[in-house]
Chains A and B, each alone.
Chain A
């Protein structure tokens, strides 16, 4: 395996050997380590000194199930912190099989040209983007397929990234060449745009394999993990049939579905936008719509879907829970076809759906549209791709828009908008939002599993003592993100110990290591610590590990609770010294 270094200033590319210190790293631990080693934490995220790193996970490209993830890392222009954003789709597996452990994109061109990095078995080259520059993602992907062939892997930015807007994500194409698998969060698309890189195109013109140090152990682990995924109710049934949007009804029942810009925990239109409704409508409409869709080859969970228009033709893929909620309940919109159109605009323009939905909700609060007015929401979101002044405000995300219009109910942490779980109703996820290295992010430590779903434990969402829970989830998550597994394997392996072992064995099989399940937390914490240090050097302190003030004084119906987790609990999450002392004393 090699590292591919790409210098955008000199337009040079070069393959280098993997330094020993990176040999056992992949995915998130690798992108974050490279950023920590090579990027000045104080640099401007859109300036020449930031870098953008792409890394498939450790087992990505092998036949391990649901493992085709790509980590993208850099200093985030949205949050100012270190960032790892992670996506499925087809390119990660192809990169891994071509022997690329990471791509490091450095510096910026002196001109305003956009470029394309083309990678195949014979090497890599930078080409002028030419007429492909400025294109929306749907047209871009189909032009690339016409020119480079079916099955080409595409990692690219839409107009939002080219305009360096803070809510620009990075798209990976799915198996049907749709652009809907996004490394969306944190504005890394703007970093890519600032480097003049429109896309990375991956052509697997020669079948190669990811090297596996201990095939027998790998196979044993793979089987254990696959058995866990195919036997656990959630990963073999619920996610496959209803997709992630099955959460709409449950978060609504739990009173934790943020509604109309985080002003209520229940949405009267929830049933109409639920996973059940997606499943039912998809069945009725027929055509190209489907549920149980895999975002890359080898996913056994298949949580993805394709949403069809009323006439059965393609509209968008996927409509997943976070997007459905952000563009739906959070904007007071209860029409799946409107949500699908908003999702399509996000995918085409190159925007993160969570941030876009929270931005629209803030805009609605500011009076730019009524809550629930889908047509007006569509018009507003279309402004972003046009690059109008209003479009640029909205394209810069929730906090920027809240400032522009004087809205104080701004649901962000470190500048990044919250996802689809109300922290006043579910305290542990609020602890995660406040304390992750990433800004408000549910995937960084998904305590919803035990707090709401009775998966991986059974914890009361209303209690505030959640420091250990949040720490444990954050640490395990870093390991899963590093291995290259989809986070959704967690639902099965948190409940089935053999599945957890199997996951670790696949990693050991690839690397030749002897890590145990205990090492998962240890390594996860070590890697997290590195990310924390970057943030500290960038100027972040405990005072940034807090939720927005309005949540402390505005009661959220139906539970009518405020955010009341004491700061000491938040500070204990990453107080490793306290941990060390307790360990020595104990």
Chain B
């Protein structure tokens, strides 16, 4: 299945090569699985948004999910 994946700020360095926003993943992949595959240190992935809602590391992706992953950030 496919998800739309975006890594932001300092996490952009972990984007899979040739990745154009859409990523093919296996059914049953969780956020944690994906982070491990990409080599993102788990504690750096502080905020994971899927379809506009914050999810935890054990979230299992569904086909077509829009995923945004952020390190600790803030502004104002």
Contacts and interface: CB of A to CB of B under 8 A. Distances in A.
Residue of B10, B51, B73, B76 most packed against chain A (CB within 10 A): B76
Interface residues of B, number: 21
Given A234-B72, A455-B74, A488-B76, A559 B8 contact: no
Among B51, B68, B72, B74, the most chain A Cβ lie within 10 Å of the Cβ of B74
B23 to A, nearest CB: 16
A250 B76 contact: no
Nearest to A492: B74
Nearest to B44: A233
A558 B66 CA distance: 12
Contact of A250 (B10, B12, B53, B68): B68
A454 interface: yes
Contact of B72 (A238, A243, A249, A559): A238
Interface stretch (A136-144, A163-171, A391-399, A442-450): A442-450
A35 B70 CA distance: 43
Given A246-B9, A276-B12, A238 B52 contact: no
Contact of A253 (B52, B71, B72, B76): B52
Contacts of A253: 6, 49, 52, 66, 68, 70
A250 B52 contact: no
Contacts, number: 96
Interface of A: 232-234, 237-239, 241-247, 249-250, 252-255, 265, 274-276, 303, 320-322, 425, 442-443, 446, 448-449, 452-455, 460, 462, 487-488, 491, 558-559
Contacts of A252: 68
Given A253-B52, A275-B9, A238 B76 contact: no
Contact of A242 (B46, B53, B54, B73): B73
Nearest to A458: B54
Given A241-B10, A250-B68, A275-B9, A255 B75 contact: no
A453 B73 contact: yes
Interface in B56-71: 66, 68, 70-71
Contacts of B12: 276
Interface in B21-64: 46-47, 49, 51-54
Given A276-B9, A453-B47, A454-B47, A250 B70 contact: yes
Q: Specify which of A233, A244, A443, A446 lies most central, judged by the most chain B CB atoms within 10 Å of its CB.
A: A233
Given A250-B8, A253-B49, A275 B74 contact: no
Contacts of A446: 76
A195 B66 CA distance: 53
A247 B51 CA distance: 17
18 contacts: A234-B72, A243-B75, A245-B75, A246-B8, A246-B9, A246-B73, A249-B9, A253-B49, A254-B52, A274-B8, A275-B9, A322-B76, A448-B76, A452-B47, A455-B72, A488-B76, A491-B74, A558-B51
B29 to A, nearest CB: 19
B12 to A, nearest CB: 7
Contact of B75 (A276, A303, A425): A303
B48 to A, nearest CB: 9
Interface of B: 6, 8-10, 12, 46-47, 49, 51-54, 66, 68, 70-76
B76 A249 contact: no
B75 A239 contact: yes
Contacts of B75: 239, 243-247, 275, 303, 320-321
B52 A234 contact: no
Given A238-B9, A249-B8, A276-B8, A254 B76 contact: no
B72 A233 contact: yes
B76 A487 contact: yes
B72 A244 contact: no
A365 B53 CA distance: 29
A558 B52 contact: yes
Contact of B74 (A320, A443, A453): A453
Nearest to A453: B74
A164 to B, nearest CB: 29
Given A242-B9, A453-B47, A443 B76 contact: yes
Nearest to A238: B73
Nearest to A243: B75
Contacts of B8: 246, 249-250, 274, 276
A425 B76 CA distance: 17
Contact of A249 (B54, B66, B68): B68
Given A276-B9, A446-B76, A254 B71 contact: no
B47 A238 contact: no
Chain A CB within 10 Å, residue with most, of B47, B52, B71:
B52
B76 A234 contact: no
A255 B76 contact: no
A454 B72 CA distance: 8
